[in-house]
Structure 1
């Protein structure tokens, strides 16, 4: 590892103000204080966050990190703990949907394996914390960069050039910075879209999350905090074949609700839409490398997976924890946090886990998004087998919670 350069170049620039970019900026600023300038660059910072209806299953390990960063307290009151996870496999017309697999919601006694948190609440809390921590918030994008030995010269959209030790590309799955670095991308479309909406319902969900595997793809019902027109709320993530999406989105509210009710079921009573249904194309992708010369890819810029297991956000927050730990450990030893050794340590910490999770979600989607009888029989037998093996279920819960193996310190709830 190289020695640090002069104080004027002790700057780390993060391009992209989503949840992963904000979390990294906050983690670095909390650990390094004023010794380093942490810059967050994104044109979206010029305006308040736009309201949307996305919600995330924040795993126990990610919640540990948010607690250490002082953010969890701001969202805990509006979050909903998952107390149970239920998996069914059926067809739309089926009146009875047999439960093949159930998971208890606790990874440890009194500790839920995940909480549902709405995007706006988490984004707002992270923005507030970054401003209070004196992260430099720059409301413009990064247009280009050029690694020059011990620094990287960064060009902002407005033309200004500055030197930094490291550039982090957190600019999404279509990352322009990844392309500019010449880092390849292996991926494909699932020819499916994820339809997302918030529903209110008559009866309480009790913290229960449900994954209905239907022929066109999984239909997930995820518990949100109480409220809404009917007193209780859930988020749905509805996977649908690409060719059906335009017709579904053109439905009026009554017809859309009828389509949702066919998939949602009747257990929670009357339903009402709390938001418009939004659609996002689904695909898989992974960068051929997670790092370049004084460049690190973070979150969706490094990988994109199917939402079938609700792990997309958690995968990005694992990147944050690993990269923050590598940077902070190097900086405290007086070493160059943008050096090749530091970046290689980050890539080796994240690549296998990322590819493994991508393979799992890809395989699950292909196995369950069909109505072929032999596949149905095989997968239902497998689900039933897992349901009768408590040890295996505990293993899956710890994996889903992000606590398996030896996670980075932030994910264990330890400050850097």
Structure 2
């Protein structure tokens, strides 16, 4: 049967793309003195980098390509990840699931999960270590104004699914290796793990980047037509491209831990398919389900509080005393009014500063405060039986506690070539205008919008943007980046374009920059809206008219945000909008 005209054009385009690729790659490799050449080099073997490679391996519009992924870690360990986790499991009991959960967990939204299904990655997941989230309850830590979102109102089976990041990585890696091993696969994959990037250079702005690599076998210099930066918030690729980023630290840390519920001393129900998030003046406290007897918590705290809680946990773990103290404080964090919770948190700081080793009296004091608060609230006290709060946490996995600084960062653009192409553009892109304005105000230290852009570079994931974890969208945004980028590369190949050029990659930047900026801005404003602390002995303000005005403004703000939260809870269209944005597809 003869090919239809459109199919014939596509076939010729791919053939042209292949022949042009071989010619240009060979010429540039000789000019730059590279040992070898690849079509695409992805720096970073995390979820975003592996998702990029999986997307390429599943794209039927691509011609034969050589793609390499570089990471300093040992990626081969993910091949046996499931076996290692099964070996680490213990015998389950009526109050323990027996699973050794990792503390790096993502709430992957349903849109990204559906994409994983489409490209063939989902069957590689360990489904026994995944948990659907069908409902989330959020509330104000000062007024208890609350809103609830569920999957039904968003028109989906679930809002999101909890999955360990390593589970994602092992699924993506095994899928990639299976696809690459298929004799009919056009993609030739080289896994360059346990390999360090020592240098990136190019002889000109539009010339092929050459990546210098070092591992146990020696040094290699690889020229590439397209260099993808999936290498995190301190991205060497972004630095090589001359792209600056703007943003600010939140001056707080995210404390993460795996908590256990279902203690014989607790009459609380099992963990269901619900998540909870309380907006406290110091930052958000979130509980996300892992199993009927376990959950993961993320608590945004000022550094002095996060460090003190971490030190308290380590001290009690080393002494084999009060192993549930951190879990008790977490449970108190969901139950106590702020006026009772704040003295407890700073009590930890004071005990650490004074070197107090005996924590038993302090733990008893926490229990007394929870009991007193419940007595004061009477029938209005929040209860886990009606889903107002998570079940009482009875223990914390000793090695699961960690913290990391929180910040907002957004690159001025996603393509190094954009910095140069903007000079000739009739209508500059939104990212160009934003970067130019920030540069003019002195908010970018140099490089951006000053003609330093290096072509054939593109940023995805944390290399392009980082955000506060309160919305659970950081890694989800990165996966959405690679979905659009792989589609853009496929379209460019269909039209016989050089995939490293600005014209070929520009649709990716257009489709992703503003949506990412909108989500970063929304999350940032949500954080600052709730992270407002009333004056107390731990956050004192000098007496005077300025302090009085501040407190009056704070009261007005608290009233406004609580009213807004209650309005959202009462209006189904608004709840549907937020539910779809948080986890499901926007229709």
Using the size of structure 2 for normalisation, the TM-score is: 0.64
Aligned residue pairs: how many? 395
Change (3 A) 1:80 1:323: same
Q: Distance in 2 between matches of 1:66 and 1:141?
A: 29
What's the CA shift for 1:154? 2.7
Q: How does 1:179-258 map to 2 (within 5 A)?
A: 179-202=239-262, 203-226=269-292, 232-251=293-312, 252=316, 253-258=323-328
Partner of 1:28: 56
Partner of 1:321: 483
Partner of 1:178: 238
Q: 1 or 2, which has the higher strand percentage? A: 1
Question: What do the CA deviations read for 1:342-399 (whole angstroms, capped 9, x no partner)?
Answer: 2211111111011111111110100111233322211110000111111111112222
What's the CA shift for 1:257? 2.3
Aligned-CA RMSD value: 2.4
Partner of 2:172: 126
Q: Distance in 2 between matches of 1:197 and 1:246?
A: 14
Does structure 1 retain, via aligned residues, the 8 Å contact 2:131–2:163? yes
Gap regions ≥5 residues in structure 1: 92-96, 227-231, 406-416
What's the CA shift for 1:98? 3.8
What's the CA shift for 1:224? 1.1
**Residue number among 517, 521, 531 corresponding to 1:359 in the alignment:** 521
Q: Secondary structure at the match of 1:391?
A: helix
Partner of 1:54: 104
**Residue number among 208, 218, 227 corresponding to 1:151 in the alignment:** 208
Deviates more, 1:124-133 or 1:308-317: 124-133
Q: Greater CA radius of gyration, 1 or 2?
A: 2
Q: Distance in 2 between matches of 1:110 and 1:386?
A: 19
Partner of 1:69: 119
Deviates more, 1:164-173 or 1:334-343: 334-343
Deviates more, 1:153-162 or 1:119-128: 153-162
Deviates more, 1:190-199 or 1:129-138: 129-138
Does structure 2 retain, via aligned residues, the 8 Å contact 1:195–1:277? yes
Does structure 2 retain, via aligned residues, the 8 Å contact 1:147–1:294? no
Gap regions ≥5 residues in structure 2: 1-12, 26-37, 82-100, 181-188, 263-268, 317-322, 336-382, 385-390, 417-454, 534-553
Does structure 2 retain, via aligned residues, the 8 Å contact 1:45–1:137? no
Deviates more, 1:256-265 or 1:64-73: 256-265
Q: Secondary structure at the match of 2:77?
A: coil
Change (3 A) 1:350 1:224: same
Does structure 1 retain, via aligned residues, the 8 Å contact 2:237–2:457? no
Q: Distance in 1 between matches of 2:44 and 2:393?
A: 40
Does structure 2 retain, via aligned residues, the 8 Å contact 1:84–1:209? yes
Does structure 2 retain, via aligned residues, the 8 Å contact 1:57–1:310? yes
Change (3 A) 1:147 1:303: farther
Change (3 A) 1:110 1:246: closer
Does structure 1 retain, via aligned residues, the 8 Å contact 2:49–2:230? yes
